[in-house]
Amino acid sequence: MIHQYDVIIVGAGGAGLQAAIEIPTESRCAVLTKVFPTRSHTGTAQGGVSAALGNEEEDSWEWHAFDTVKGGDYLGDQDAIETMCKDAIRAIIELEHMGMPFNRTPEGKIAQRMFGGHTANFGEKPVRRACYSADRTGHVMLQTLYEQCMKNDVTFFNEYHVMDLIIREGVCRGLVAIEIKTGEIHIFHAKAVMFATGGYGRVFQITSNAMAGTGDGFEMAYRNGVPLEDMEFVQFHPTGLWKLGILVSEAARGEGGILRNKDGERFMERYAPSIKDLAPRDMVSRAIYTEIKEGRGIEASDGSFYVGLDLTHLGKEIIEEKLPEITGFAKTYLGVDANEEWIPVQPTTHYAMGGIPTTIDAEVIVDENNTTMPGFYAAGECACVSVHGANRLGTNSLLDILVFGRRGGKKITEFLVNAEFPELPDDASEWTQNTIKRIRNNDNSVKMIDVRNEMQFTMMDTCSVFRVEESMKEGLQKIKELQEKYLLVGIDDKSKGFNTDLLEVVELGSLLNTAETIITCAINRKESRGAHWREDYAKRDDTNWLKHSLIFGTTGSTPDIRYKPVIIKQFEPKERVY
Ligand SMILES: Cc1cc2nc3c(=O)[nH]c(=O)nc-3n(C[C@H](O)[C@H](O)[C@H](O)COP(=O)(O)OP(=O)(O)OC[C@H]3O[C@@H](n4cnc5c(N)ncnc54)[C@H](O)[C@@H]3O)c2cc1C
């Protein structure tokens, strides 16, 4: 079946919905999503969304921009960061007008809390900048944006799994999707396509990400010749629930929570004397692993180690009013009452700093000279603008999706004024058909779950918080072997409708190819910066590495890595001390 729309947006998280709201109703726009819109990962965001409103104390967008640049270890593009931090204030007020139920100050203003790496006066002391709705900020944001889409009569194709982009002669012409309910293939012919497909956390064994975070958008772009930027930068959030990886928001530390080692010591005082537990995530994750490595972790009954997140001094009222969700998770999944005991935590794979390169208007960039591809846009976690550089600050992603989702929607609207439907090739669905045929015809001797487990273990083991060349090379070798094995993976369930076995195999293909780009770029970058920490190159090296990496390569070929300069404006790179 062939559909024609002026614009197709893939993804119904914050970025996709915010973009859809901007497309005027006279244009035909549809949103495709593999999960029901309000189940997108944005809905799980807990802690907050940043904007220098200054409602609780003095703040300014320049301080916010400085913190974002420094937090990202000077790899972020400062033009994009300025754009985001300036626009944050408008974005929050707009959400408030849409009806988002923020927590309030006693005078009725939007309340704000502290978060990691957000400071006053260029690093002097922590500042209250995160706007929040208890610890369900993403949930209410997604519901609010979805309501606006309903109001604007946006067309949704829910539970459509996008399989391939149609790119010919450097022009994006639409995409191919499977309708999950029927198993039918649909071709969507479009003047403009926007990817807002979220992250890839499921590449790793321990992650805070939803099951759907399988990197499909990154992989589809890459498979069709679009480079990926800064893929080596993977954020590990310091406080995942021990062994499970379920997130315990930084808001817990924003409200005064303290990390403790087995001696009860507040160890962050040694690593970041000025902002302690509110240091950026990369630093806190490394500190936790260092404590464990040096014998100060807390030993669990199974012989593994964690550290404690101490909220016991906050009092029941704060916990119930501001942190109900995460303390509920601790109770439900680990049987821990946060009022009485420390929550056992360990770092968990959380966020993709890298992704599909874009301009500040979400236009996809295809080379190191910033050439854009007509008709293709990307925003949100799958995109790399780059505002987060080498390490994202908490609360800056919910902001990123609002600001760049909206800018993308506006840019597409401009593009549509003169755009025509590009020609649709006859072989548009060939790759999709062949892939489905292969998976269906394989005998099921190689199991999806075995390949996926091995990949997730390998990535966790060789390419997580601390990295070293030799082990990463072994990891890459293993990923390549798994890519070969993957071609033999089959399924028992041969039915057409709701064949989740088949789609999980498709997702595994995305995960494996995304894993390859991450580890290849991590081997290539011979310095330590932000979340990319090389034990064999333990220093940041601005002389050789103050640049973005772009990995090119269609699957099967040896990837080519090229570079793009970092845009520096008012903040010259300095040593990163907190
Ligand atoms: C537990 C958790 C807590 C977080 N808390 C915060 C926070 O407090 N503050 C903050 O700033 N950030 C937070 N983040 C990060 C932030 O929530 C995400 O980065 C952001 O919401 C991503 O939004 P998105 O719109 O890019 O994608 P998502 O919300 O991830 O949505 C992706 C969409 O793409 C669709 N999709 C993907 N692949 C396909 C395909 N093949 N076919 C069809 N559809 C597809 C999915 O169905 C989905 O609709 C948190 C993240 C997690 C995991």
pLDDT digits (tens, 9 = 90+) for 43-83: 999 999 999 999 999 999 999 999 999 999 999 999 999 99
Burial of 25 from C-beta contacts in 10 A (0-12 / 13-18 / 19+): exposed
Q: If 0-12 CB within 10 Å is exposed, 13-18 middle and 19+ buried, where does residue 445 land?
A: exposed
User: Of ligand 1's atoms, which has the minimum distance to the CA of residue 351?
Assistant: 19
CA of 234 to the centre of ligand 1 (A): 15
List, for residues 417-440, the tens digit of each pLDDT value: 999 999 999 999 999 999 999 999
pLDDT score recorded for residue 101: 97
Q: Are residues 434 and 539 in the same domain?
A: yes
How much of the chain exceeds pLDDT 90, in percent? Answer: 99
Neighbours of 4 (CB within 10 A): 15
Whole-number Å distance, alpha carbon 6 to ligand 1 midpoint, is 24
Say how many Å lie between the CA of residue 200 and the centre of ligand 1: 10
Is 108 within the bounds of a domain?
no
Report the interhelical angle of 500-524 vs 430-441 (nearest 10°): 110
In whole numbers, what is the pLDDT of the chain averaged over residues? 97
Statement: residue 554 has pLDDT above 70? no
So what's the pLDDT on residue 444? 87
**Does the residue 71 lie in any domain?**
no
338 and 435 in one domain?
no
Which of 39, 42, 219, 223 most suits a substitution to test ligand 1, by most atoms within 8 Å of the C-beta?
A: 42
Q: Any bridge partners for residue 368, and if so which?
A: none
Q: What is the pLDDT of residue 461?
A: 96
Last residue of a domain, one of 347, 366, 400: 347
Q: Please identify, among 321, 347, 373, the residue that sits at the C-terminal boundary of a domain.
A: 347
The distance of Cα 571 from the centroid of its chain, to the nearest Å, equals 25
User: What is the CATH number for 500?
Assistant: 1.20.58.100
Nearest to 507 by CA among 79, 181, 134, 219: 219
537 and 437 in a single domain? The answer is: yes
Cβ(31)–Cβ(37) under 8 Å? yes
* Atom 14 of ligand 1: nearest residue by CA position: 45
Alpha carbons 23 and 194: distance in angstroms, whole number: 12
Separation of CA 14 and ligand 1 centre (Å)? 7
User: Is residue 449 domain-resident?
Assistant: yes
pLDDT average, residue stretch 233-244: 97
DSSP annotation of 358 reads B
The verdict on residue 380 lying in a domain is: no
Q: Which atom of ligand 1 is nearest to the CA of 135?
A: 8
Of all protein residues, whose CA lies closest to atom 37 belonging to ligand 1? 197
Ligand 1 binding residues, C-beta < 6 A: 10-16, 32-35, 40-42, 44-49, 137-138, 160-162, 196-199, 208-209, 212, 216-217, 247, 249, 351, 380-381, 394-398, 401
**Does 319 fall in a domain?**
yes
Residue minimizing CA distance to atom 13 of ligand 1: 45
Q: Is the dihedral of CA 493, 499, 501, 502 positive or negative?
A: positive
Q: What percent of the chain has pLDDT over 70?
A: 99
Q: Are residues 440 and 343 in the same domain?
A: no
Catalytic residue positions? 281
Sign of CA dihedral 298, 331, 393, 197: positive
Same-domain check for residues 540 and 434? yes
Counting atoms of ligand 1 from 1, which one is nearest the CA of 15? Answer: 25
CA of 210 to the centre of ligand 1 (A): 8
Does residue 412 form part of some domain?
A: no
Q: What is the pLDDT of residues 92-120, one digit of tens each?
A: 999 999 999 999 999 999 999 999 999 99
Counting from 1 in the atom list of ligand 1, the atom nearest the Cα of 201 is: 53
Tell me which of 165, 351, 377, 398 to substitute to probe ligand 1's pocket, judged by most ligand atoms within 8 Å of the beta carbon.
398
The phi-psi region of residue 245 (left if phi > 0; otherwise alpha if psi is between -120 and 50; otherwise beta) is: left
Query: CA-CA distance, 160 to 181, in Å (whole number)?
Result: 8
- The residue whose C-alpha atom lies closest to atom 9 belonging to ligand 1 is 395
Check whether residue 343 and residue 445 sit in a common domain: no
Q: Which atom of ligand 1 is nearest to the CA of 142?
A: 29
Into how many domains does the chain fold? 2
- Nearest to residue 378, comparing CAs of 8, 48, 33? 8
Residue 555: pLDDT band with limits 50, 70, 90: low
The per-residue pLDDT for 114 is 95
Check which CATH number belongs to the domain holding 268 and give it: 3.90.700.10
- Its pTM stands at 0.97
In a domain, 39, yes or no: no
pLDDT tens string 311-328: 999 999 999 999 999 999
Question: Does 276 reside within a domain?
Answer: yes
CA of 209 to the centre of ligand 1 (A): 8
CA of 10 to the centre of ligand 1 (A): 12
Q: How far apart are CA 85 and CA 70, in angstroms?
A: 14
pLDDT in tens, 273-304: 999 999 999 999 999 999 999 999 999 999 99
For position 535, what pLDDT does the model report? Answer: 96
Checking 93-99 for CB contacts under 8 A at 24+ apart, the result is 95/141, 95/144, 95/402, 98/144, 98/145, 98/147, 98/148, 99/144, 99/147
Domain, as residue range, for 246: 238-347
